[in-house]
Structure 1
Amino acid sequence: MIRSRTGEVAARARPWLPAVAVALAAGLGAVGGSYLSVGRRPAFVVGPFDRLVLLLSPDALVTFAITQLGTLGHQLAFLTATAVTCAVFGLAALPGAAFLLGRGPAHGALSRGGSALLGVILGTVPPAVVAYGLTRSQPSTLGVAAGAGFVLLATAGTSALLAGDGRSLGSPARRRVLGAVGSAIGVSGLAFFVRGTGEESFPSPLEIPEDARPEVRELLTRAKEQSFGVEGLEPLVSTNFYQVDIGNVDPDVDRREWSLSITGAVEEEREYDFADIEAMPLEDRFVTLRCVGDQLNGRQLDTALWSGVPVRSLLEAAGPEGNYVVLRGADSYYNEFPIEALWPGLLAYRMNGRPLPRAHGAPLRALVPGHWGEINVKWLTEIEVRTEETMGYWEHRGWHGTGPVHTVAKLWQVNHLGSGRIEVAGHAYAGTRGISAVEVSTDGGDTWVEAELSDPLPGDDVWRQWRYEYGAAGRHEVIVRARDGNGSLQIPDEDGPKPDGATGWVSETVRPG
């Protein structure tokens, strides 16, 4: 009986499959049209679904993505959001697709041309309405309508174009499905070709801008000269700065309309526009950031030369009366931590001698010395002072990364120099405590020697490079550990990133070259 009912349902659904396939192709065309129009910006129709996917993802899944997949986790989330978006716009285009394939109630009463036109309208207007409701963007809405409309027009014309060419492509419905899928892939391919991945490309910090201020030029030159010439090792100013955000579509904040508010438990609430910030004395700082989700020997640790205004001058003008602050960004991200950590902070609007990139928080981001990267809020719009402690965005998901960073030595490079000589190297970081030594063991921890350290860069919150060269003939285990500026040894007990950062000594088995 169950098999009979299942077969009956399948028989009823089968005639609708071509219409569903065409509708999904129209949904893909709609997404491609939106991307072609606005790129990977807030008006892109995938953005709202990306936020929804992240919001509905279980905490365990988010933790796994952060700690095990890294940037791949974000990419998979964005791919999932894209698929959901295509399905939603495909559903909106289904009436038009069904009509074009002869499933509409009034289909037989119209001429072929009238039927095609009505089908395209029925399959284009609903997706456009959905797009405008989601984004309120006319360019994105027009892109959606054009992308879906192109696919549906191709669907309507494919059967007629192929009817007399003598090739065996199956039924007219199959031909239309092929036409729809082909045109959808064409729209998406064109969008990708024109817009690329949507991720910003940044000039190398090793290329000092021609218009750089003398102070910036001197500092970047110093960082370049003090960097070890170890093959494959990132210099002291990172050439590929890591990026972690709560979403996959970054805010696009117009600095002419942007403002920063200082609110809450203050003597006088203050508001600053970008011109106010630019008029303040500019300060340059080397600052290292490390993500709380960084694995023990992960790559979410980087350094840049940041330029901006000290937080102290803005806080003093407002007169804070509370012991806690909440920083909020234009991406709806927020974090709370003790105000004493923010006093020595910097509000940066330039990075490595250039305007702060959108991906790193333009027009303004916070830099809180010595603390995990999660409290360095990007696209900063508000500093709220509070009298009572609350919870930040990631604390609601079980993380507690608002405290000072752990000391860590990374083993990022192993080079075989020939004649049995081996070079190991990496970076070490301990927040504002600084690094006084990195110790290396090449016999699994039985004996230890100090590695060579790069000269410290100016600043209180900056990493250092280390390297060590030795001779070895067989397979062996290399272990590295760091001591902070107070002489305290890096935590030896190995633990994962959640809830408050990874700990342990990094080790790697090295084989003869």
Structure 2
Amino acid sequence: MSIPRGWAALVGIVAAAVTLAVAELVSVMVGPGGSPMVAVGAWVIDLVPPFVKDTVIALFGTADKIVLIGVLALLVAGLAALAGIAQYRRPPLGVVLLAVVAGIGALATVTRPDSSGIDALPSVIGMLAGAAVLMLTTVRLKAWRDVAAPAGEGTPVAVSTAPSRRAFLRMVGVTGVAAVVVGLGSRAFTAATAAVSAVRASRTLPPPAVAAPPVPASASLDVPGLSPVITPNADFYRIDTALQVPSVDPAEWSLRIHGMVEEEVVITWAQLIALPLEEHAVTLSCVSNEVGGDLIGTAMWLGYPLRELLKRAMPQAGADMVLSRSIDGFTASSPLEVLQEEDRACLLAVGMNGELLPLDHGFPVRMVVPGLYGYVSATKWVTELEVTTYDAEKAYWSTRGWSERGPIKTESRIDVPRSGQSVTAGTVAVAGVAWAPHTGVAKVEVQIDGGEWREARLAQAVNTDTWVQWVLEWDAAAGSHEIAVRATDATGYTQTEDEAAPAPDGATGWHRRTVSVS
């Protein structure tokens, strides 16, 4: 009797599950930087070509990390199955393959920013545990095969296969279930960042010394389905390079300003929140946002002006860029002159919409810079500001084909009616949002079926750094219709019809929707 190849593949998958489960368990004690899945995932994000990143975000939006983890899980499962078959047929090739895969995980962990040699420990211990399971379980599988083999020319001794088969299945089942329980439990413990969440919950947001004016009622149009003026925290887009949200205790956080400065500045959390904080409504946008996309949102941010901290440091002549660094190694390059502008609310932010920053939006401290795409300004979990030059330093995305300065482009979006939606003939509200951060929107125009442009009614803007709602009452006739929109900013610039992909400096084009009127 031959044992089906699938059993050997299952042995490999169980061994890989044990490897990952033990690695996650050890990383709970060593630190989240030792998690091989997180490290390899971050490695992939770093190495993947920009066009792949753009495609994934375009297809899956803020679910991009879930997709990446799913792809990695499938890849690991495939390699694990191959290792099981190799170990069954030609030992110790399966163990060698498992060691190679674990070695990649170890290498990924120790090459992450701020890593140390101990971060490889989870991968190494996980590999040893997985290799032991792979070898022992393969021995049980071969015992089942040998007992079930024909005795000479006679009939297979089938009656004696049951104990060997049960022993193999019991070992596979118990080991597999234990690996899943341990792995999920360890990952949940790490991902929950329980300690930091508790610390955040125990703290209160300091009141602003300079409060933002209340959002006027006239800033909101009464149109169902229209994006709210202020985006709730739970709905605010999240695009960053962190597979695992960093856990940063405010008591241990500090920001260092150094580089081309007359005086190095270090500020702690306690010192930061004791400063006269300011509150500002600001719209942020991801450079990966497609025309009409939802990788954009507006929040009420609380923080301290970056220009004031830079004044303390006194940048030297010739400096033209501030390289901000996150605790997870991400960097962004912001124009120094922009951060120093007196009329621009560039903040070292601690609050978002009336509460401390959520963990996945940068708690305890992040940057907020009106008018620049997030990849050159909105560094989360920020710990360093290096005053330097564009010639001397390159930021994370600047080395991957994106432009260095990233001003947000004047754009507009149709929220209602939705594309493909069927509406009743008569008066139909066509509505959406438009933005030109730090410039302001002067007008929005709507075009039906390629006809003349009609000016929409604008709601009152909260300020020039936020998006603005707009609406046009359309007398819709039966049939299929295409709606287009364009915005003009306060400088007189009208958004272009020319279509361009997000790379290298933001998408362009008119947002269009097709609706059916009956």
Alignment of 1:374-389 (within 5 A): 374-375=375-376, 376-387=378-389, 389=391
The alpha-carbon distance between structure 1 residues 426 and 169, as it changes in their structure 2 partners (threshold 3 A), is farther
2:323 aligned with 1:326: yes
Q: Measure how far apart 1:90 and its partner are.
A: 8.9
Q: Which residue of 2 aligns with 1:117?
A: none
Unaligned runs of 5+ in 2: 93-97, 148-157, 194-203
SS in 2 for 1:410: strand
2:266 aligned with 1:271: yes
Q: Measure how far apart 1:244 and its partner are.
A: 0.9
Q: Measure how far apart 1:308 and its partner are.
A: 0.8
CA distance in 1, matches of 2:441, 2:161: 69
CA distance in 1, matches of 2:171, 2:297: 48
2:395 aligned with 1:392: yes
Q: Measure how far apart 1:342 and its partner are.
A: 1.3
Q: Measure how far apart 1:452 and its partner are.
A: 2.1
SS in 2 for 1:497: coil
Q: Which residue of 1 aligns with 2:372?
A: 371
2:230 aligned with 1:237: yes
CA distance in 2, matches of 1:37, 1:471: 65
CA distance in 1, matches of 2:192, 2:207: 30
Q: Measure how far apart 1:55 and its partner are.
A: 3.1
Q: Measure how far apart 1:16 and its partner are.
A: 8.9
CA displacement, residues 420-479 of structure 1 (integer Å, 9 cap, x when unaligned): 3322221111110111211111232x212222222211x431111112221222211111
Aligned residue among 434, 448, 467 for 1:463: 467
Q: Measure how far apart 1:169 and its partner are.
A: 9.8
Q: Is the 8 A contact 1:27 1:87 kept in 2?
A: no
CA distance in 2, matches of 1:197, 1:443: 53
2:502 aligned with 1:497: yes
CA distance in 2, matches of 1:147, 1:305: 49
2:248 aligned with 1:253: yes
CA distance in 1, matches of 2:365, 2:414: 33
Q: Is the 8 A contact 1:25 1:180 kept in 2?
A: yes
CA distance in 2, matches of 1:266, 1:157: 65
Alignment of 1:281-430 (within 5 A): 281-321=276-316, 322-343=319-340, 344=344, 345-375=346-376, 376-387=378-389, 389=391, 390-400=393-403, 402-414=405-417, 418-430=424-436
Q: Measure how far apart 1:41 and its partner are.
A: 5.3
Q: Measure how far apart 1:50 and its partner are.
A: 0.9
CA distance in 1, matches of 2:18, 2:397: 36
| Amino acid aligned to 1:408 | E
CA distance in 1, matches of 2:80, 2:258: 41
SS in 1 for 2:414: coil
CA distance in 2, matches of 1:470, 1:385: 52
The alpha-carbon distance between structure 1 residues 271 and 383, as it changes in their structure 2 partners (threshold 3 A), is same
Q: Is the 8 A contact 1:26 1:90 kept in 2?
A: no
2:20 aligned with 1:31: yes
Q: Which residue of 2 aligns with 1:180?
A: 172
| Amino acid aligned to 2:250 | R
Normalised by the size of structure 2, how large is the TM-score? 0.75
Q: Is the 8 A contact 1:49 1:84 kept in 2?
A: no
Normalised by the size of structure 1, how large is the TM-score? 0.75
Task: Say which is worse superposed, 422-431 or 71-80, in terms of deviation.
Answer: 71-80
Q: Which residue of 2 aligns with 1:3?
A: none
Q: Is the 8 A contact 2:423 2:515 kept in 1?
A: no
The alpha-carbon distance between structure 1 residues 424 and 266, as it changes in their structure 2 partners (threshold 3 A), is same
Aligned residue among 38, 43, 52 for 1:61: 52
Q: Is the 8 A contact 2:263 2:313 kept in 1?
A: yes
CA distance in 2, matches of 1:43, 1:381: 21
Task: Provide the alpha-carbon RMSD of the alignment.
Answer: 4.8
The alpha-carbon distance between structure 1 residues 42 and 388, as it changes in their structure 2 partners (threshold 3 A), is closer
SS in 1 for 2:485: strand
Q: Measure how far apart 1:360 and its partner are.
A: 1.0
CA displacement, residues 258-299 of structure 1 (integer Å, 9 cap, x when unaligned): 110000111100111111111111111111111111101111
CA distance in 1, matches of 2:27, 2:50: 32
CA displacement, residues 8-37 of structure 1 (integer Å, 9 cap, x when unaligned): xxx9xx899755532321322443566689
The alpha-carbon distance between structure 1 residues 231 and 42, as it changes in their structure 2 partners (threshold 3 A), is farther
SS in 2 for 1:261: strand
SS in 2 for 1:431: coil
The alpha-carbon distance between structure 1 residues 172 and 387, as it changes in their structure 2 partners (threshold 3 A), is same
SS in 2 for 1:302: strand
Q: Is the 8 A contact 2:446 2:456 kept in 1?
A: yes
CA distance in 2, matches of 1:143, 1:388: 43
Q: Is the 8 A contact 1:49 1:82 kept in 2?
A: no
Q: Measure how far apart 1:64 and its partner are.
A: 2.9
Q: Measure how far apart 1:63 and its partner are.
A: 3.7
CA distance in 2, matches of 1:236, 1:37: 45
Q: Is the 8 A contact 2:301 2:352 kept in 1?
A: yes
The alpha-carbon distance between structure 1 residues 369 and 59, as it changes in their structure 2 partners (threshold 3 A), is closer
CA displacement, residues 285-320 of structure 1 (integer Å, 9 cap, x when unaligned): 111111111101111111111111111111111111
Q: Is the 8 A contact 2:423 2:516 kept in 1?
A: no
CA distance in 1, matches of 2:221, 2:132: 55
CA distance in 1, matches of 2:123, 2:497: 55
CA distance in 1, matches of 2:265, 2:371: 27
CA displacement, residues 341-366 of structure 1 (integer Å, 9 cap, x when unaligned): 11241010111111111211121111
CA distance in 2, matches of 1:441, 1:212: 45
Q: Which residue of 2 aligns with 1:6?
A: none
| Amino acid aligned to 1:307 | L
Q: Is the 8 A contact 1:361 1:378 kept in 2?
A: yes
Q: Is the 8 A contact 1:35 1:143 kept in 2?
A: no
CA distance in 1, matches of 2:256, 2:46: 27
Q: Which residue of 2 aligns with 1:48?
A: 39
Q: Which residue of 2 aligns with 1:80?
A: 71
Aligned residue among 214, 221, 225 for 1:228: 221
Unaligned runs of 5+ in 1: 1-10, 105-122, 201-210
| Amino acid aligned to 2:410 | T
The alpha-carbon distance between structure 1 residues 158 and 349, as it changes in their structure 2 partners (threshold 3 A), is farther
CA distance in 1, matches of 2:159, 2:416: 58
CA distance in 2, matches of 1:169, 1:58: 52
The alpha-carbon distance between structure 1 residues 399 and 212, as it changes in their structure 2 partners (threshold 3 A), is closer
The alpha-carbon distance between structure 1 residues 259 and 98, as it changes in their structure 2 partners (threshold 3 A), is same
* Percent identity for Structure 1 against Structure 2: 32
The alpha-carbon distance between structure 1 residues 221 and 20, as it changes in their structure 2 partners (threshold 3 A), is same
